[in-house]
């Protein structure tokens, strides 16, 4: 009987506070059992040579949509292919949005079973709330189902959400939801867009002279996002809620959150890989249609500055696996959204390092911060003894050409087709098991459900107590 299951030898390991450190990682029972000098004796069943590769906490993708209709994962294929894409890109845990107008007890049960049948990553859920019954059930969702973060679409007014089966809501609904989640130690994840202004702008003749993505951006300009963020941030402060602005796309949106946060701390900002690496001028054309839209390069630069100075908390993918056939239309009728969980870590890390953003900040935004905000820390998001052995082993001087045929996703395209990055994922370990080994996908997916009873301010407070313990 060996003392340890696995020894990762000769890597440079990212340790919080110390940065990259030459050390060996010992794994036992799915957890990190030791971080030792490479010369230290240790009796492990298997030793894997890392030859100077970089060992990071596995990435956590806080923003994923699964299932053929992007509302819920329903079968093994929904779970298997998209989580394969994720682990191939160094993601070890993902938080998936479930969307339904029905009460969530049954929906949650079925989605969890679908994921347990074939997820390569560990996974948790956020619920999209749309009815008063949902809001009343929040305390039960938190305690019994372990879901403590709740999205609602500020843009689902009237029948705007009908195509996804969601009823319209209003600011009264938002006010109730904020107060209820605050009392339950949970968080609200608003999709911030003022749809009434979008409706008005749609009446103008679109200007397609600068390409389809620029035209799309002009129908949903940054002020649409910034106004909604301003409103939800103000009401969060008034109700004592934690609010997490998903997929922040613009300088204006980021500025509003920064400003509001000086008066009220429990406000958080997520951006996405695509706002950091694509613009309205990108070659992807209609494949890059998404809401909020891709922006001009000045917004991309502002988001990088926000990531570097800490005003951006997390990077997510907003992954969605609708097939490419939904995209191959004009900009007005193509579906919005695209796959991205597989490129979140390589592109954010590669582009961030190229820009001189410290590795510390990039690890924070792609892993640690999400773990802390969503009640997963210190089990996830950090390499330390006792934490799950969720690791992304990467070559920072590799060559990685992004191509849809290596992404596993059922979407069968990527807006980053042909993009290159220096970051190549060599191995991905989920609780000590190789989900990806030497770049090859494992064939025994065993992701488990992550029960999370706190998010936002209460989760950060608990993480802080852990840190000082």
Tell me phi and psi for residue 48, to 5 degrees: -115, 125
Nearer to Zn ion, 316 or 432 (CB): 316
Nearer to Zn ion, 366 or 458 (CB): 366
How many alpha carbons fall within 13 Å on the CB side of residue 115? 26
Nearer to Zn ion, 347 or 423 (CB): 347
The number of residues that bind Zn ion (CB under 5 A) is 1
Least CB distance from residue 211 to Zn ion, whole Å?
24
Q: Which helix (H) or strand (E) holds 129?
A: none
Tokens 């007005």: give the residue.
Answer: 332
For the record, the structure tokens of 303 come out as 């988001």
Least CB distance from residue 83 to Zn ion, whole Å?
17
Tokens 């002279």: give the residue.
Answer: 209
CA gap 258, 233 in Å, rounded: 10
Residue nearest to Zn ion (CB): 318
Vertex 43, ends 42 and 47: CA angle to 5°? 90
Gyration radius of the chain over CA positions: 21
Nearer to Zn ion, 71 or 427 (CB): 71
Nearer to Zn ion, 318 or 351 (CB): 318
Question: Is 203 buried (19+), middle (13-18) or exposed (0-12) by CB count in 10 A?
Answer: exposed
Tokens 């910034």: give the residue.
Answer: 226
Q: Does 61 bind Zn ion (CB under 5 A)?
A: no
CA gap 266, 232 in Å, rounded: 12
Pairing status of strand 31-36 against strand 44-49: unpaired
Nearer to Zn ion, 24 or 318 (CB): 318
Residues 155-184 that bind Zn ion (CB under 5 A): none
Phi-psi region of 30 (alpha: psi -120 to 50; beta: other; left: phi over 0): left
Least CB distance from residue 280 to Zn ion, whole Å?
20
Residues 310-339 that bind Zn ion (CB under 5 A): 318
Least CB distance from residue 97 to Zn ion, whole Å?
6
Q: Which residues on adjacent β-strands are paired with residue 341? A: none
Least CB distance from residue 317 to Zn ion, whole Å?
9
Least CB distance from residue 398 to Zn ion, whole Å?
30
Least CB distance from residue 156 to Zn ion, whole Å?
13
Binding mask 263-302 for Zn ion (x = CB under 5 A): ----------------------------------------
Interacting residues toward Zn ion by CB under 5 A: 318
């Amino acid at each position: 009987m060996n003392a340890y299951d696995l020894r990762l030898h000769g890597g440079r390991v990212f340790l919080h506070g110390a940065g990259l450190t030459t050390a060996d990682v010992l794994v036992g029972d799915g957890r990190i059992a030791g971080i030792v000098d490479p010369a230290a004796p240790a009796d492990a069943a298997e030793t894997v040579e890392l030859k100077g590769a970089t060992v990071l906490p596995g990435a956590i993708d806080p923003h994923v949509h699964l299932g053929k209709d992007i509302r819920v994962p329903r079968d093994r294929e929904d779970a298997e292919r998209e989580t394969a894409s994720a682990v191939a890109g160094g993601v070890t845990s993902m938080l998936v949005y479930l969307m339904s107008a029905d009460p969530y007890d049954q929906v949650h049960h079925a989605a969890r079973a679908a994921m347990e049948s074939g997820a390569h990553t560990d996974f948790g859920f956020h619920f999209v709330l749309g009815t008063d019954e949902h809001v009343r059930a929040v305390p039960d969702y938190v305690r019994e189902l372990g879901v403590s973060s709740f999205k609602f679409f500020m843009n689902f007014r009237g029948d705007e959400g009908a195509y996804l089966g969601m009823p319209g809501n209003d600011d009264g609904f938002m006010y109730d939801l904020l107060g209820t989640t605050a009392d339950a130690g949970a968080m609200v994840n608003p999709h911030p867009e003022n749809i009434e202004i979008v409706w008005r702008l749609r009446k103008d003749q679109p200007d397609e002279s600068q390409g389809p993505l620029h035209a799309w951006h002009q129908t949903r300009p940054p002020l649409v996002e910034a106004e909604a963020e301003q409103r939800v941030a103000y009401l969060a402060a008034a109700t004592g809620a934690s609010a997490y602005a998903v997929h922040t796309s613009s300088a204006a949106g980021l500025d509003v959150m920064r400003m509001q946060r000086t008066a009220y701390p429990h406000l958080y900002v997520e951006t996405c890989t695509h706002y950091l690496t694509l613009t309205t001028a990108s070659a992807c054309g209609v494949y890059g249609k998404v809401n909020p839209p891709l922006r001009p390069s000045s917004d991309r630069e502002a988001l990088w500055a926000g990531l570097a100075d800490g005003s951006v908390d997390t990077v997510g993918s907003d992954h969605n696996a609708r097939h490419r056939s939904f995209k191959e239309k004009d900009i007005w009728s193509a579906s919005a959204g695209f796959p991205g969980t597989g490129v979140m870590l390589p592109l954010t890390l590669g582009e961030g390092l190229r820009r001189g953003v410290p590795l510390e900040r990039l690890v924070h935004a792609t892993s640690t911060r999400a773990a802390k905000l969503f009640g997963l820390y210190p089990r996830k998001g950090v390499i330390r003894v006792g934490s799950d052995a969720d690791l992304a082993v990467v070559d920072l001087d590799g060559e990685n050409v992004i191509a849809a045929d290596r992404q596993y996703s059922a979407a069968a395209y990527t807006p980053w087709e042909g993009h290159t990055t220096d970051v190549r994922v060599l191995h991905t370990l989920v609780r000590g098991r190789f989900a990806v080994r030497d770049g090859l996908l494992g064939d025994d997916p065993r992701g488990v459900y992550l029960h999370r009873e706190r998010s936002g301010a209460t989760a950060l407070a608990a993480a802080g107590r852990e840190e000082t313990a």
